[in-house]
Chain A
Amino acid sequence: MEILDLTAVELGERIRKREVSAAEAVEAVYDAFRERNRNLNAYAAFEIDPARTAAQAAQTLLDGGGASALAGVPVGVKDNISVKNCLTTCASRILQGYRAPFDATAVRKLRGAGAVPAGTLNMDEFAMGSTSETSCYGAVRNPWNVGHVPGGSSGGAAAAVAARECFCALGSDTGGSVRQPASYCGVTGFKPSYGRVSRYGLVAYGSSLDQIGPIARDVRDCAALMDVIAGADPFDATSRTFPDAGFLDALNGDIRGLRVGVPEECFGDGAEEDVKACVQEFLDELRRAGAELVSISLPFVRYAVPTYYILATAEASSNLSRFDGVKYGYRTEHYHTLEELYVRTRSEGFGKEVQKRILLGTFVLSSGYYDAYYNKALKMKQLIVDGFAEAFGRCDVMALPVSPTTAPKLGESLSDPLKMYLSDVFTVPANLAGLPGLSVPCGFDRNGLPVGAQLLGAVGADALVLNAGHAYQLATDWHTRKPEICRPPLGGDVAERQRGEAVENA
C-alpha cells in the first residue's frame, strides 16, 4: 500500500510507531506534487525547504515524546492562509511574490501539534468562485474527470486530497468553499461554527462569514484537525471557545435517537435527480443507524443567496481595498499620478471575478444604496439566524445536499455567473447563520462524478455534526473510493485520455 493512501490519522499512528518518519511523509507528498501536479494543477506552490524544516521540528517533538494524533503529518494549506516566510498569494496576481511575515493562528497551532505545513493549494482568486477556475495559476481540474471543475474556492485542497497528492488540508469557507469542492471531489470537508477557528492570518474575503476548515479523506481526519486548530484566539476578537471539545474522542458513531431534520425546500426542483437520489440514500443510511428523520421547512433559505452576495461583496470591497500597490505585492509599471497607481495596479492585479465582486460590494455600500441593500441584507441575515435557531428546536442536525449539481464542466460556470451564484443555495445559509456544516461523499451520479451530502448543526454543535458524519462513514465506503487517476500506473495517461475526451465532448 502506498503511503499516500493512508488517512492522516493512520499516518500519524505509523509515525508514532516509528514505521514512517516525518521526513518520509513530507517527501512522499513532495514527490506526488512533482510527478503529478500537472495533471490537476492542485498546488499553487510547494516550497520544500520550509516543509522539510517543519518536518525536522516535528520529528524533534516526536522524539521528545510530544505525540499528538497528527504529529509528523503533512498538511496542505490553501493559498489564502498565511504560512510564515512562504508565498501566500490568494492565487492572485496582485499578491505575486508576497510572503507572509507570520503564521496564521491555525498554522501556528498545527506546528505546535507537530503537524507539518507542506505546500500551498490552488484556489479561486481571493476565494471568490465556485470552480477554482479564476486562479492566476490556471484552473484546477477534478480528479474524477479532468474535463470538470473540482469546485471552489478550495478546489486545489479538495482535488489534492482526493487524488492522494496530500493527506489532508486546511481550506476556507465563506459561502461553501470547503464543503462544495469536497462534495465535487468525493472527500470530506468541514466548516466549523463561526468563531470556532481563529481567522488570524486568513486573508479576509467576507469577515463575518469566513471560517478556516479541514478537508480530508474522512470525518476522523477532519476531527483530528479540528482538535488542533479550534479555540479562542486573542488575535481574533470574533473567535470563541465553545463548551464541547475533543472532537476525535467524541466520534463514537452512535446516532441512535438523533433527530435529523430534512428541509423540504432542499429536495425540490432545484436539485438534480441523481443528487437527490444519492442524498435520499444518505438519509436512509442515517435512519438505519438509528436516527429519526424529521421533515422541516426553511422558507427563508430562498433569500440566502442574495443576502450572501450583498454581505460578502460589501465586506470584500473593504477587505480588498488594502491591495493598492503601495506596500507589497503587484504594482503597475505605468503611472504618473497616485490615482493612476491605484487604478492601474488594481485593474491589472485583480482578475475579472474579483473586480466584479469589488464593484458590487462598493455599490451596495454607497450612500443612497446602503439602506436598500446592505442594511436590508443585515436584517435578512438576522432573520436567517433566528429561523435556524427555531428549526433546531425540532431537530438536532439537518441533512441536505451540498450542491444542487455535481461538478460542472470546465468553462461552463463562468459563462453563466448567475447560475453559478445560485448553485451556492445549500451552502451559504450555514455561513450566514454561523452554523457548523459537514460535507461527506454519498455516491456518484450517472457520469461517475461524486455527490456530497451535507449535515448542519446549531451554532456550537460541531462535535454532534462530526459524529453523525462519522456514523455514516462507519456504515458506508464512499469516502474510501479512489479516482482512477491515482491508481497505478500513475497520472499522465489517464489525465491525457480524460483531457482528450473533454475536448471531444466540448
Chain B
Amino acid sequence: MRYEAVIGLETHVELATKSKIFCSCGGHSAKGEPNTRVCPACAGMPGMLPVTNKRVVELAMRAGLLLNCQISRYTTFDKKSYYYPDLPCSYQITQWFHPICREGSVEVTTKDGARTIGIKQIHMEEDAGKLVHDDWTETTLVDFNRTSVPLIEIVSKPDFRTADEVMAYLEKLKTMFRFANISECEEGAMRCDVNISIRPEGSEELGVRTEIKNMSSLSSIRRAIQYETARHLDAVERGTETLVQETRRWDDVKGRTFSMRNKETAADYRYFPDPNLMPILIGDDWLRRVKDEMPASVEEKTAEYQSKGLSAKEIASLTAERVLCDLFDALISSGREPKEAASWILTECGGILRKHGQVMGELDIAPEKLSRIMEKVSGNEINRAAGRKVLEAVLYEGADPDEYCEAHDLSAQGDADAVRQVVLKVLDNTPAAVRDYLGGKKKAFQALFGGCMKELKGNGDPQVIRALLEEELAKRS
C-alpha cells in the first residue's frame, strides 16, 4: 500500500516594527545585551497595561492580503495562561476567539508542479523571553529582550504532502514578507511547529498526528519532516511502535525527534478576552489605506523594471532586496536615468559595500544624496572615480556630497579647463619628456601622464587627461 504524508504548519514570524507589540521598547529581539530592551510594561510589573501598537495590526493585515485571506472587521486579543519563567505575566496575549485573518491560500511550486495550500488563519501575538542556562554556575537566567516582540502566527491547513512543498512554502513566505516589509525574516525570526500524520493514498481519514515544536532553520525542518514521516511509516507498516498523539522535539545533532512528555501538552490555557485591550474594529477606510500602502510585489516590480529597459540580471539583483527597489524608484522619480541608477546601486554601491564586508541588503543611503552624486558625475562636475570616492564618504562618514567635493577640492577635477591648465603646467615643467615623446619615444607619454595625475592628486579622469595631453602635445609637434 502507498502512503502519503499529511502536513500542516504553524509558522511564527517576527514583524519588522520599530517597537514591541504592547509598549514602546525597541522591536528587534536579537539586538542588545540581555534585559536592555525591556520596560516595566513588557517585564510585566504590577500595574502596567498593554497598549496595542497599531503598526502590528497593519502588518498582520498586509500579510493576510498577501495570502488572500479574509480580513476580520472585528478582532480581539485574548489571554493564554501558563506558567514559565520567560513569560513575565504568566499569560501570553494572543488571539484566540477572533483572529485578524481567516481563510486564505498560497500557491507553491516544486519540481512536481504547483499546488495550492490553504491558510486557516493568521493571528497576532507577543513573543516570550528567553531562558539562558549557565552551566558554570548551574543557574538559569531570564532575558526579557524578546518579550512582547510582535509575531504573527500563520496556521496552514494540513495541505502539504512533501517536505519539498513545505520548503517551497516557507521560502515563498520569506520572500513575500521581506519584500513587503512585513518581516526581516532573518535567522530565528521565523519559527515553525509542524503537524504530521500519514494515511493510505486516496484515503480521507487522518492518521495519528504528532507535532514537532519550534524549529527555525529550513534544513532542520526538512530533516525533521523526513525523519518523522519515516517513523510514522515504520510504525504503521512494520509495527515498530504505537503512535500516540503528542508533541515532539527535533534534535538536530542526533537527527531524530523525541517525545517531550511534558505537562504542557495537557495544559488548559484558560483563554479569555483581555479586558485591557478594546476590540479592534477594522473599517473600510483603514483596510483601503493598508491596501494602498501595500508595496508592489516582486512580480509587479519585475515587469515595471523590464519596461524601463533593465537587464534580467539587474532586475534580479534589485528585486532581491526591498531597500534596493525603494532606492532605485526614488532615483528614477528624482529624474535619474534607469540604466545609470541600476549601475550606481549595483556596481558602485555594491563594490563599496563588499570592500567593507557588507551585503547589498545593508545598503543605507539617502536617495537624494546618491542622486546628487550621479548628477555631479553626469554633468561632468566630477568624474566617475571622484564620484565613487564621494559615495564612499557618504556611506561611511555620513558626508554631504556637495560639501565633500568642496572640502576635498574634487569639484574642479572634472573640469576640462582646470585639467588643461595642469597639463600645460606639466608640459612646461618637463621639457625633456616632451622632447623625447615628440622625438618618437612613446614611453615618455606615461611619464607626462603620471606627472599630471600627481599634480591632480590622483583625482583626474584618465581619459580626459590622456585626450588633453595628446591634444596639447600635437600643438607642440
Contact = CB atoms under 8 A, between A and B. Distances in A.
Interface of A: 80-82, 88, 90, 95, 98, 100-102, 104, 199-204, 206-208, 234-238, 314-315, 317-318, 321-324, 326-328, 338, 342, 362, 365-367, 370, 374
Contact of A370 (B43, B50, B272): B272
B47 A237 contact: no
Given A237-B52, A321-B91, A322-B88, A367 B46 contact: no
Contacts of A207: 275-276
A437 B196 CA distance: 57
Contact of A326 (B49, B142, B271, B272): B142
A318 B81 contact: yes
Interface in B36-53: 40, 43-52
A322 B46 contact: yes
B338 interface: no
A203 B88 contact: no
Contacts of A100: 45-47
Given A207-B275, A327-B43, A370-B272, A321 B49 contact: no
Interface residues of B, number: 28
B3 interface: no
A203 B45 CA distance: 9
Contacts of B142: 326-327
Contacts of A199: 47, 49
A315 B275 contact: yes
B236 interface: no
The 3 A-B pairs with the shortest beta carbon distances in the complex, nearest first, are: A321-B90, A208-B275, A365-B270
A370 B277 CA distance: 20
A321 B46 contact: no
A104 to B, nearest CB: 6
B170 interface: no
Given A82-B46, A237-B52, A317-B81, 18 more contacts: A82-B47, A90-B46, A95-B46, A98-B46, A102-B40, A102-B45, A199-B47, A201-B47, A202-B47, A238-B275, A318-B91, A321-B83, A322-B46, A324-B83, A324-B90, A327-B44, A366-B268, A367-B270
A200 B46 contact: no
Interface string B262-303: 000000101110011110000000000000000000000000
A200 B43 contact: no
B66 interface: no
Contacts of B85: 324, 326, 338
Nearest to B272: A365
Contact of B47 (A104, A324, A370): A104
Nearest to A90: B46
Nearest to A198: B49
B343 to A, nearest CB: 48
B51 A235 contact: yes
B83 A204 contact: no
A125 B425 CA distance: 93
A200 B277 CA distance: 13
14 contacts: A81-B47, A95-B46, A101-B45, A208-B275, A234-B51, A236-B276, A237-B277, A238-B275, A322-B44, A322-B46, A323-B46, A365-B81, A366-B270, A370-B270
B89 interface: yes
B322 interface: no
Interface centre among A82, A98, A324 (most CB of B within 10 A): A324
A238 B81 contact: no
Nearest to A204: B47
B270 A237 contact: no
Contacts of A324: 83, 85, 90
A322 B270 contact: no
A374 B273 CA distance: 11
Given A101-B40, A318-B79, A327-B44, A236 B89 contact: no
